[in-house]
Structure 1
Amino acid sequence: MAAGLRRGPRSNGAVLAEAGWSHLGRDDAEEAPAPPAEPQPFSLLLSTYGGDTPEFLRLAFTSTVQEQTRRPDEVVLVQDGPVPPELAETIADLAATSPVPVKHVVMEDNVGLGPALDRGLEACAHEIVARMDSDDVSRPDRFERQLPLVEAGADIVGSGLYEFGSGVDDVVGRRTPPTDPGTIRRVIRFRDPFNHPTVVYRRSAVLAAGGYTDMALMEDYLLFTRMVEAGARPANVAEPLVYYRVGAGAYARRGGRELLRSELALQRRFRELGITSRGEYLRNVAVRGGYRLVPESVRKVAYRRLLANRGVRTGG
Structure 2
Amino acid sequence: MHQRSSQAAFSLLLPVYAGDDPGFLRLAFESSVQGQSLRPAEAVIVQDGPVPDALAREIERIGADSPIPVNVVLLPENRGLTEALNAGLAACAQPVVARMDADDVSLPGRFERQWALLQQGFDLVGTGMVEFEHDPDRPASTRVPPVGSERIREHARTHNPFNHPTMMYRLEALDRVGRYQPFGKMEDYWLGIRLIDDGARVENIADPLLAYRVGSGAFARRGGWVEARTEWRLQRELLRMGFVTRGQYLRNVVMKGVYRLMPASVKRVLFRGLIGRGLPGDRTAG
Normalised to the residue count of structure 2, the TM-score between the two structures is 0.92
Q: How far, CA to CA, are the matches of 2:55 and 2:7 in structure 1?
A: 34
Partner of 1:265: 233
Q: How much does 1:298 deviate?
A: 2.3
Q: How much does 1:309 deviate?
A: 2.3
Partner of 2:283: none
Query: Which of 65, 71, 74 matches 2:33?
Result: 65
Partner of 2:14: 46
Partner of 2:133: 165
Partner of 2:247: 279
Query: Which of 70, 90, 95 matches 1:127?
Result: 95
Q: How much does 1:40 deviate?
A: 4.9
Report if aligned partners of 1:191, 1:307 keep a CA contact under 8 Å in 2: no
Give the aligned length: 278
Q: How far, CA to CA, are the matches of 2:176 and 2:16 in structure 1?
A: 25
Amino acid at match of 1:146: Q
Deviations 1:241-270 (A, max 9, x none): 000001212212211122112212222222
Structure 2 gaps of 5+ residues are 279-286
Q: How much does 1:39 deviate?
A: 7.8
Normalised to the residue count of structure 1, the TM-score between the two structures is 0.84
In the TM superposition, what are the counterparts of 1:68-87 in structure 2 within 5 Å?
Answer: 68-87=36-55
Q: How far, CA to CA, are the matches of 2:260 and 2:7 in structure 1?
A: 43
Which structure's CA Rg is the greater one? 1
Q: How far, CA to CA, are the matches of 1:49 and 1:121 in structure 2?
A: 17
Q: How far, CA to CA, are the matches of 2:122 and 2:113 in structure 1?
A: 13
In the TM superposition, what are the counterparts of 1:1-316 in structure 2 within 5 Å?
Answer: 2=1, 40-309=8-277
Deviations 1:39-60 (A, max 9, x none): 8510111101011111111110
State the secondary structure of the residue aligned to 1:77: strand
Amino acid at match of 2:64: A
Q: How far, CA to CA, are the matches of 2:21 and 2:223 in structure 1?
A: 23
Report if aligned partners of 1:39, 1:151 keep a CA contact under 8 Å in 2: no
Q: How much does 1:302 deviate?
A: 2.3
Deviations 1:50-104 (A, max 9, x none): 1111111111011001111110001111111111111100111111111111111
Q: How far, CA to CA, are the matches of 1:180 and 1:93 in structure 2?
A: 41
Q: How far, CA to CA, are the matches of 1:281 and 1:305 in structure 2?
A: 24
Q: How far, CA to CA, are the matches of 2:274 and 2:98 in structure 1?
A: 26
Q: How much does 1:216 deviate?
A: 1.8
Q: Which moved more, 1:196-205 or 1:257-266?
A: 257-266
Partner of 1:20: none
Report if aligned partners of 2:180, 2:191 keep a CA contact under 8 Å in 1: yes
Q: How far, CA to CA, are the matches of 1:263 and 1:215 in structure 2?
A: 9
Q: How much does 1:181 deviate?
A: 1.6
Report if aligned partners of 2:129, 2:163 keep a CA contact under 8 Å in 1: yes
Q: How much does 1:274 deviate?
A: 2.8
Report if aligned partners of 2:8, 2:41 keep a CA contact under 8 Å in 1: no
Q: How far, CA to CA, are the matches of 1:209 and 1:301 in structure 2?
A: 36
Q: How far, CA to CA, are the matches of 2:78 and 2:215 in structure 1?
A: 23
Q: How far, CA to CA, are the matches of 1:273 and 1:78 in structure 2?
A: 32
Q: How far, CA to CA, are the matches of 1:75 and 1:155 in structure 2?
A: 20
Q: How much does 1:114 deviate?
A: 0.8
Q: How much does 1:305 deviate?
A: 4.1
Q: How far, CA to CA, are the matches of 1:203 and 1:272 in structure 2?
A: 26
* Backbone CA RMSD of aligned residues: 2.0
State the secondary structure of the residue aligned to 1:261: helix
Structure 1 gaps of 5+ residues are 10-37, 311-316
Q: How far, CA to CA, are the matches of 2:11 and 2:276 in structure 1?
A: 27
